[in-house]
Structure 1
Amino acid sequence: MEYSKLVELYEQLDSTQSTLEMTSILAEFFRENDELLEDIVLLAMGRPFPYWKNMDIGISSKTMLEIIEEATGRSKSEIEEVWRDEGDLGYAAEEMVRTKTQRKLGSKDLTVERVVDTLEKVAKMGSGGGETGKVSMDKKKSEVSALISDADPVEAKWIARTFIENLRLGVGEGTIRDALSEAFFEGEYKESIQRAYDLTNDFQEVARACREGIEKVESLEIEVFRPIKSMLAKKVESIEEGFEEVGKPAAIDYKYDGVRAQIHIKDGEVKIFTRRLEDITEQFPDAVEAIKNHVNAENAIIDSEIVAYDPEDGSSIPFQQLSRRVKRKYDIQKLKREIPVEVRPFDLIYLEGSMIDTPYSQRYESLENIVSERKQELRMVDHDVTDDPERVHELDQAALSEGQEGIMMKSVDAVYKPGNRVGYMVKLKPVMETLDLAVIGAKWGEGRRSGWLSRLKLGCWSEEKQEYVMIGRMATGLTDEELGEITERLKPLVIEEDGRDVTVKPDVIVEAEYEEIQKSPNYSSGYALRFPRLKSFRDDKEDADSLEKVQNLYDGQ
């Protein structure tokens, strides 16, 4: 199929804000282009691969800028200027191709198949450090540059957006589900399609099944070694609100300061996936060994938390340090000794067959039956079932005193709902004292946030250094109105620009809420706020809180 045909679809979708109209446009395209259906359902969402596949394109916005420069012969500063003004690297690619100075003598046809092949080829190229990583990145850039060189301006826009995985169309999973329903079943069986997707986490497989008929869709099941999305928890402010959501009695579990891990066991082999479905098996050989030794199951999927402990005294080590193991793919044995881990299972998704429709109390009992506990290797979650608010408070305080994040409250009768916050479980977390912090930098937004300054860099005052030191970024939870006000306040204060990054005079003070203070080598303060969010502007204050206050709050957690 000519790529221009897919681009026509993109342009149609881009010109409407109506979800119903988007659904109809997609449904018609799915019906008319049956032969490439599996690729199209993902490309329409701006995803090159199903979520569960451990494949990453590895093309950042900065790399795409270099690719556009290579493909068009336009200068970096010209591309950056359009990017900054429009907030869209795809639009920058379109403009640069429209007036490019590089002329290619021979060009190849641009087809959907070629774009898909290039996506796969680029994803399979390494992206590590050193000379090998540089060679791989050069090859990636060369492959994508060839596509843009052969593209017309509008095609170049969509290629750039596809490879940085920012299609900006607003086509989500629900739209794809409804479009498949309309295309193949006259708008019926949406629940069956949704369930099939929940179980497979793969719209390519669901689309293929839709083409074969509803019986095939309804026959799709969970497969071990193909991770599904984890069930998520709502946040509640009080124990009473928690009981209102999940009912009485409720199961109460510790909310550990660790890594959410979906453990898959298949015929003696073990794989571990994060909540984002990344395969971290190699990073945790000790966890794999613990699972093999202490879980009696041939085929199972277990929801769990991996927590770190101090090898000297057994006390909890915070996630900030444990995250070094998640990201590291070398020095595994050294880190295993420095940051040992314990696996804490809390739910059972699969045991010789799917268990997601089984009530939680039965899933938990089945999980207990296959686990043999051993301290500092694998133990069941700290758990109780109660309808007594005092007992819940007692467990919450105990969890916090042990360095954990708080507690979870769960409905004992609920099924397992992948990927959704449906109120079957909630998390109760402590509200930390707010901090007054200076905005010391920001970033020009892309897409819908184009023209606004966002991703605020926050700083506290270091008496020792006599300057503001960074303690985090405020990137989520900002409304359009707040972004407008932030931009209005910060624009006159900009003292330096580097691409889309700006440095500003620290004259704007904000009151920030957050979930936790963690130690962090990534910021000049030595600390990081977890999930900071704007509470208010502090026009009554000229100075931010001190680093000493941050240290005291950290020590008091």
Structure 2
Amino acid sequence: MKYSELAEKYQELESTQKTLEKTDILAELFKEGGEDLEYLVLLARGRIYPEWNEVEIGLSSSMMQDIIAEATGYTEKEVEELWRDEGDLGLAAEELAKNKKQQKLMSTTLTVEKVIQRLRKVAEMSKEGSSQSVSQDKKKKEIADLISSSEPLEARYITRTVLSHLRIGIGEGTIRDALAEAFFEGENKDKIQRAYDFTNDFTEVAQACTKGIEEVEELKLELFRPVNSMLAKKVDTIEEGFDSVGKPAVIDYKYDGMRAQIHIKDREVKIFTRRLEDVTEQFPDVVEKVEEHIDAENCILDTEIVGFNPEDGSMIEFQKLSKRIKRKYDIQKQVNEIPVEVRPFDLIYLNEPILEEEYSERLEKLDRIVDEEERELRLVDREVTDEEEKVQEMQQKSLSEGHEGIMMKKLDAEYKPGNRVGYMVKLKPVMETLDLAIVAAKWSEGERAGWLGRLFLGCYNKETGEYEQVGKMATGLTEEQLEEITERLKPLIEKEDGRKVWVQPDIIVEVEYEEIQQSPTYNSGYALRFPRLKSFRDDKEEADSKEKIESLYEDQK
């Protein structure tokens, strides 16, 4: 299939907000896909590999800006200005490709296969072992060649695919429904979903769909191929939690650790993060603990890996533990400085998939294969109860021991990868709100172009008389809020650099958040986790002090 045909489908998908219309467009694309079907189900979500494959293209927006300049003959400044005006680097690439200042001597027609293979080639360059600068130069040359060969509409979507931001509004459910419509007249959505839950790979599911529903039903979960973790909804009260999961319920501590899916295949161990990254090499100590304390040849554990202070045994926050996730060197030093304890809380495979068994049955099997030892590997702290007072006691005990709160889980529930279905919920304490100044912002992209959307928040340092950043608020803002924020901030802009602007700290906002963490990223030394706008504080002229941030941080301990 020509890539231009796919680009036209992308444009159709982008032009409608109706899910049924998107499904129909995709179904038609999949029917016509032929040998390109496996590529199309990936590219429909802007991916070049299935979800479980962690290899990424690895080019930033600023690098893509350079590539577009090289491919079209415009200056980087001209690209940047158009990017700012359009609010989308893909649209900027399309516009510049209409009037390229330099043309390739020989132009070739792009196909879906050529594009995805070129993008995969670029992604694989990160693994070749060459220096970072050489690798990035090679990547940029390959993508520039691709943009040079593309038509304007193709340039729009190649750029967006490189940046992993396709902007056509396609989720897993739409892919599932389109496959059902393309191959089974809209039937068998549940079987297709089950196959995807097991494989985490729509390329396999799509190929099976072409052969019949029996082939779809044959797809199974495979060891060493991570599946999406089942996610928890947030509730504000214990009563709300019981309404969601029923009585009695399993009550677990909620640790401030790393969610990890641990696979054992013929006694070999691999560790995956919630984002499906393979971090086995970074956690050799976890491998040893699992080998010693899990009595199973083949299984998949859902766990929390919790860091602790080697001197006094106290819990350490995830932010410090997270340093180990990306570490590629001095691993043993990190093992010694940030030791961990493995806390399993679910079992989804034991010689065969058991996701569809009730949680109570999975827990019984988990209990049988765990040989507990403190500071090595232990089951999560948990109770089964229908009493609100008991849940309250557990929550207070969890918080007093340095954890985040509690989880409430449904006893007779199956395991649903990637879903917030209400089978488990998290109950965390509500933190005191903060009044903070907006000190900087970034112009948004896409549909929200023209609005200042990413807000940098500052607290007031009384000693220096300066505002210091304590985080940024980038999600959860409505269009009405964005419009009001932009209108208020525009007159206060002091300087600009690309899409970022610095403003006078005159706008004070009341901010909710989940916790305060220490952070080297911001000059205050602290960062709010998941800050969100509660209200404007027009009655205040000065933000809360850094001293208040420090006091609240200490109170969390």
Q: TM-score, normalised by structure 2?
A: 0.98
Following superposition, the deviation at residue 464 of structure 1 comes to 2.5
- Structure 1 pair 529/158, CA: closer, same or farther in 2 (3 Å)? same
Q: Secondary structure at the match of 1:363?
A: helix
What residue is the counterpart of 2:3 in the other structure?
3
CA distance in 1, matches of 2:434, 2:321: 26
The verdict on how the C-alpha distance between 1:79 and 1:525 changes in structure 2, with shifts beyond 3 A counting, is same
In 2, Cα distance between equivalents of 1:448 and 1:201: 30
1:106 maps to 2:106: yes
Distance in 2 (CA, whole Å) between partners of 1:43 and 1:79 is 25
**Quick check: 1:520–1:526 contact (8 Å CA) kept in 2?**
yes
Match of 2:477, SS? coil
Shift of 1:329: 1.6
Q: Which whole-Å deviations, capped at 9, do the CAs of 1:310-360 have from their partners, x for residues lacking one?
A: 011111111111011112221111111110011000000110111111111
Within 5 Å, give how 1:266-277 maps onto structure 2.
Answer: 266-277=265-276
Counterpart for residue 50 of structure 2:
50
1:370 is aligned to 369
Say whether 1:382 aligns with 2:381. yes
The residue number in structure 2 matching 1:126 is 126
CA deviation string 1:155-183 (max 9, x = no partner): 11111111111111101111111111111
Instruction: Spell out the pairing of 1:107-186 with structure 2 (5 A cutoff).
Output: 107-126=107-126, 132-186=131-185
Structure 2 match to 1:33: 33
CA apart distance, 1:465:
2.5
Asked if 2 retains the 8 angstrom alpha-carbon contact of 1:460 and 1:546, the reply is yes
> Percent identity between the aligned chains?
65
CA-to-aligned-CA distance 1:441-492 (integer Å, 9 cap, x gap)? 1111111221111111000011223211110011111111111111111111
Partner of 1:543: 542
Q: Which residue of 2 aligns with 1:78?
A: 78
Structure 2 equivalent of residue 427 of structure 1: 426
1:281 counterpart residue number: 280
Give the secondary structure class of the aligned counterpart of 1:316. coil
* 1:253-402 aligned within 5 A: 253-402=252-401
Shift of the alpha carbon at 1:272?
A: 0.8
Could you say what secondary structure the match of 2:13 adopts? helix
Q: Which runs of 5+ in 2 are unaligned?
A: none
CA deviation profile, 1:472-526 (whole Å, cap 9, x unmatched) = 0111111111111111111111111111111111110000000101111111110
| Aligned amino acid, residue 368 of structure 1 | D
2:122 & 2:465 partners in 1: Cα distance?
46
Q: Distance in 2 between matches of 1:165 and 1:282?
A: 26
The 1:128/1:467 distance shift into structure 2, 3 A limit, reads farther
The offset of 1:128, in angstroms, is 10
Q: Is the 8 A contact 1:127 1:137 kept in 2?
A: no
Displaced runs of 4+ in structure 1, greater than 6 A? none
CA distance in 2, matches of 1:97, 1:369: 62
Question: Given the superposition, is the C-alpha separation of residues 82 and 127 from structure 1 closer, same or farther in structure 2, using an over 3 Å criterion?
Answer: farther
Letter aligned with residue 221 of structure 2: I
Listed one character per residue, the Cα deviations across residues 361-381 of structure 1 (whole Å, up to 9, x for unaligned) are: 111111010010111111110
- The 2-side partners of 1:145 and 1:127 are apart by 20
- 1:127/1:136 contact within 8 Å kept: no
2: CA distance, partners of 1:361 / 1:89: 50
Give the deviation of 1:27 after TM superposition.
Answer: 1.0
SS of structure 1 residue aligned to 2:190: helix
SS, match of residue 432 in structure 1: coil
* Counterpart position of 2:96: 96
Cα offsets for 1:264-311 (capped at 9, x unmatched): 110111111111111111111101110011101111010000000001
**What SS does structure 2 have at the residue aligned with 1:109?**
coil
Structure 1: distance between partners of 2:307 and 2:25? 49
Deviation at 1:127, TM superposition (A): 7.7
Equivalent residue, structure 1, for 2:415: 416
CA distance in 2, matches of 1:264, 1:483: 44
Distance in 2 separating the partners of 1:133 and 1:479? 39
2:36 maps to a residue whose letter is L
Structure 1 Cα separation of the partners of residues 47 and 218 of structure 2: 25
Superposition RMSD on alpha carbons, in Å?
Answer: 1.2
The change in CA–CA distance for 1:494 and 1:127 in structure 2 (over 3 A counts) is farther
TM-score, normalization: structure 1?
0.98
Encode CA deviations 1:387-428: one digit per residue, 9 max, x unaligned: 111111111011111111000011111111111111111100
| Aligned-residue offset at 1:55 | 0.8
For residue 56 of structure 1, what is the amino acid of its counterpart? E
| Structure-2 residue corresponding to 1:530 | 529
Partner residue, 1:19: 19
Amino acid at match of 1:3: Y
Letter in 1 for 2:541: E
Secondary structure, counterpart of 1:464 in structure 2: coil
Residue 519 of structure 2 is matched in structure 1 by: 520
1:207-236 CA deviation, whole Å, 9 max, x = no partner? 011011000111111111111111111111
The equivalent of 1:211 in structure 2 is 210
- Output the amino acid matched with 1:260: R
Displacement of 1:108 after TM fit? 3.2
> How many residues are matched?
556
CA-CA distance at 1:106 after TM superposition = 2.5
* SS in structure 1 of the partner of residue 137 of structure 2: helix
Cα distance between partner residues in 1 of 2:516 and 2:33: 51
**CA displacement 1:104-127 (0-9 Å, x = unmatched):** 222333221111111111111128
For the 8 Å contact 1:456–1:473, the answer to whether it is kept is: yes
User: What is the distance in 2 between the residues matched to 1:217 and 1:194?
Assistant: 10
> CA distance change for structure 1 residues 128 and 321 in 2, over 3 Å: closer, same or farther?
farther
Distance 1:259 1:437 in 2: 29
**Would the aligned equivalents of 1:65 and 1:89 in 2 still touch at CA under 8 Å?**
yes
2: distance between equivalents of 1:98 and 1:486?
35
After the TM superposition, which of the residue ranges 440-449 and 96-105 deviates more from structure 2? Answer: 96-105
How far did residue 77 of structure 1 move? 1.4
Contact 1:58 1:127 in 2 (8 A): no
What's the offset of the Cα at 1:534? 0.4
Helix, strand or coil at the partner of 1:126: helix
Contact 1:248 1:387 in 2 (8 A): yes
AA aligned to 2:383 is D
SS at match of 1:549: helix
CA offsets, 1:222-266, max 9 Å, x none?
111111111111111111111111111111100000000000110
Aligned letter for 2:501?
A: V
Q: 1:346, 1:381 within 8 Å by CA — same for their partners in 2? A: yes
Structure 1 residue runs without a partner (length 5+): none
Distance, in Å, in 1 between the alignment partners of 2:336 and 2:33 is: 54
2:164 is paired with a residue of what secondary structure?
coil
Q: Secondary structure at the match of 2:344?
A: strand
